[in-house]
């Protein structure tokens, strides 16, 4: 049967006439299939899922109550457009109280986003012309780069390497790419490496941006999930406001992934361009969600409680993995533990199995151990454990960690 005419109408950016015809199976689909097969082969067994990139718990009850009350207000019923003042003001207070960034003007330096993902998909429209280069880091969250390419831009990926503490080596960008580069997207605490930035690195980024006329977009989706000290905002760096914006999100720090709210803060010209394109893209997040999130931003102790849970789980997981020779190091924030993938292990049948890539190791972990992780082969072979696994209380957390310990016994990992 011939293709319907619609098949010939797809834009080249999503594959043109070949759209949907590829046979390649993507990473997350492979994980899903392996999980399904492992459960079918082991009926009733517990699959420990550490592949999930979102909180395992609901938003706090007081935030849900604030949402319910706000949803009943007639004034909150309509289009929100580029947002309401209370959320912007709460965001500016949060930047000051939690991140120590003073002097943010909510009127000109903050606009909400329907989550960081939406902001990352809108910002390329503000800057990327065909042929422009977008500097990104890899492994990483690809949304800005995907949209930059939709606009005819080119992505240059800077590898995040362990020897550089998973910070990009800015001096490694080739001169011809740098000449055409307009944007640099960074993300700390980082997904997937769990690495944190330093004030020195951020100062280097500001100097680099000024020297090469770059716009910096700091995706700070995990900013407040730190295990000690204060979150490190890029905007706390002298001169940062002249070169960039920071993207904050309610998703991870307040258990609100489904609520879809964040904010873009920083350089007023960049914020204005974002607001203009956003205004032509969406009609804003529900004002009741904004009102409840304004309440939440004024209660940073919520994030501290969430972070301390992840910190506790992280300590336990690091201990278990190290016991079995997996060389884990507790990060300073986020909920991701990034561990080098072994080259081989010993299976339940006593036979040695070699792993060519992290993906093979991750598949083996699902099939053989019923433990799900996410593999990354972009800059070295690593797997990401997320401490957002399901456990109903601290005792249950200890049980899950004990279970991981038992399952990894005798694996004899080789590097």
Ligand X SMILES: Cc1ncc(COP(=O)(O)O)c(C=O)c1O
- Should residue 291 be labelled a site residue for ligand X when binding is judged by CB under 6 A? no
- Should residue 219 be labelled a site residue for ligand X when binding is judged by CB under 6 A? yes
Residue found under tokens 């079995």: 324
- Should residue 115 be labelled a site residue for ligand X when binding is judged by CB under 6 A? yes
Interface stretch with ligand X, choices 153-161, 200-208, 223-231, 249-257 (CB under 6 A) = 249-257
The residue at minimum Cβ distance from ligand X is 115
Q: What is the CA radius of gyration of the chain?
A: 22
Residue (231 or 262) nearer to ligand X, CB:
262
The least distance separating ligand X from the CB of residue 45, rounded to whole angstroms, comes to: 28
What is the DSSP code string of 347-409? Answer: -TTS-EEE-SSHHHHHHHHHHHH-EE-EEE-SSS-EEEEES----SSHHHHHHHHHHHHHHHT
Task: List the beta strands (DSSP E) in 92-241.
Answer: 110-113, 133-138, 154-159, 181-187, 215-219
The answer to whether the CB of 169 falls within 8 A of the CB of 175 is: no
Interface stretch with ligand X, choices 74-82, 112-120, 168-176, 226-234 (CB under 6 A) = 112-120
Among 117, 278, 313, 369, binds ligand X (CB under 6 A): 117
The least distance separating ligand X from the CB of residue 126, rounded to whole angstroms, comes to: 18
Residue (262 or 300) nearer to ligand X, CB:
262
Among 53, 231, 244, 300, binds ligand X (CB under 6 A): 53
Q: How far apart are CA 264 and CA 63, in angstroms?
A: 22
Count interface residues toward ligand X (CB under 6 A).
13
- Should residue 257 be labelled a site residue for ligand X when binding is judged by CB under 6 A? yes
Name residues whose C-beta falls within 8 Å of residue 187's C-beta, 6 or more positions apart in sequence.
137, 140, 141, 218, 219, 220, 221
- Should residue 124 be labelled a site residue for ligand X when binding is judged by CB under 6 A? no
Ranges within 346-405 binding ligand X (CB under 6 A): none
Q: Can you read off the two tokens belonging to residue 340?
A: 């080098």
What is the DSSP code string of 280-325? Answer: TT---S-HHHHHHHHHHHT-THHHHHHHHHHHHHHHHHHHHHHHTT
Residue (241 or 293) nearer to ligand X, CB:
293
The answer to whether the CB of 260 falls within 8 A of the CB of 293 is: no
Q: How far apart are CA 390 and CA 403, in angstroms?
A: 13
Residue (53 or 153) nearer to ligand X, CB:
53
- Should residue 227 be labelled a site residue for ligand X when binding is judged by CB under 6 A? no
Residue (168 or 262) nearer to ligand X, CB:
262
Interface stretch with ligand X, choices 42-50, 115-123, 199-207, 396-404 (CB under 6 A) = 115-123
Report how far apart, in Å, the C-alpha atoms of 339 and of each of 342, 379, 383 are: 9, 13, 5
The least distance separating ligand X from the CB of residue 362, rounded to whole angstroms, comes to: 18
- Should residue 196 be labelled a site residue for ligand X when binding is judged by CB under 6 A? no
Among 141, 156, 254, 338, binds ligand X (CB under 6 A): 141
Among 137, 183, 196, 249, binds ligand X (CB under 6 A): 249
Chain residues that interact with ligand X, rule: CB under 6 A: 53, 115-117, 141, 187, 191, 219, 221, 249, 251, 257, 262
């Amino acid at each position: 049967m011939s293709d319907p005419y619609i098949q010939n109408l797809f834009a080249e950016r999503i594959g043109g006439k070949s759209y949907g015809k590829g046979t390649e199976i993507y990473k997350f689909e492979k994980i899903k299939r392996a999980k399904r097969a492992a459960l079918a082969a082991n009926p009733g067994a517990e699959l420990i899922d550490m592949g999930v990139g979102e909180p395992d718990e609901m938003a706090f009850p007081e935030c849900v109550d604030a949402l319910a009350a706000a949803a009943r207000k007639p004034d909150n019923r309509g289009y929100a457009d580029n947002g309401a003042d209370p959320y912007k003001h709460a965001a500016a207070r949060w930047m000051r109280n939690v991140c120590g960034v003073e002097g943010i003007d909510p009127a000109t330096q903050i606009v909400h986003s329907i989550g960081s993902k939406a902001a990352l998909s809108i910002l390329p429209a503000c800057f990327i012309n065909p042929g422009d280069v977008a500097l990104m880091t890899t492994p990483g969250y690809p949304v800005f780069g995907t949209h930059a390419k939709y606009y005819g831009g080119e992505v240059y990926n800077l590898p995040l390497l362990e020897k550089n503490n998973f910070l990009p080596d800015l001096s490694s960008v080739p001169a011809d790419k740098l000449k055409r580069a307009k944007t640099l997207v960074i993300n700390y605490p980082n997904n997937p490496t769990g690495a944190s930035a330093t004030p020195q690195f951020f100062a280097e980024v500001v100097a680099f941006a000024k020297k090469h006329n770059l716009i910096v977009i700091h995706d700070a989706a995990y900013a407040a999930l730190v295990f000690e000290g204060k979150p490190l905002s890029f905007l706390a760096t002298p001169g940062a406001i002249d070169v960039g914006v920071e993207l904050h999100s309610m998703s991870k720090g307040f258990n609100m992934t489904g609520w879809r709210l964040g904010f873009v803060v920083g350089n007023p010209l960049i914020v204005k361009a974002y607001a203009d394109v956003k205004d032509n893209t969406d009609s804003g997040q529900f004002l009741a969600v904004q009102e409840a999130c304004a309440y939440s931003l004024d209660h940073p102790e919520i994030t501290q409680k969430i972070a301390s849970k992840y910190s506790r789980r992280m300590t336990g997981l690091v201990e278990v993995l190290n016991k079995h020779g997996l060389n884990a190091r507790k990060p300073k924030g986020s909920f991701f533990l990034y561990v080098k993938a072994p080259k081989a292990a010993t299976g339940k049948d006593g036979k040695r199995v070699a792993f060519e890539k992290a993906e093979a190791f991750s598949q083996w972990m699902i099939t053989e151990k019923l433990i799900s992780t996410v593999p990354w082969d972009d800059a070295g072979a690593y797997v990401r454990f997320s401490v957002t696994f399901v456990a109903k209380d601290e005792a249950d957390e200890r049980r899950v960690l004990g279970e991981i310990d038992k399952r990894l016994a005798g694996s004899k990992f080789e590097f």
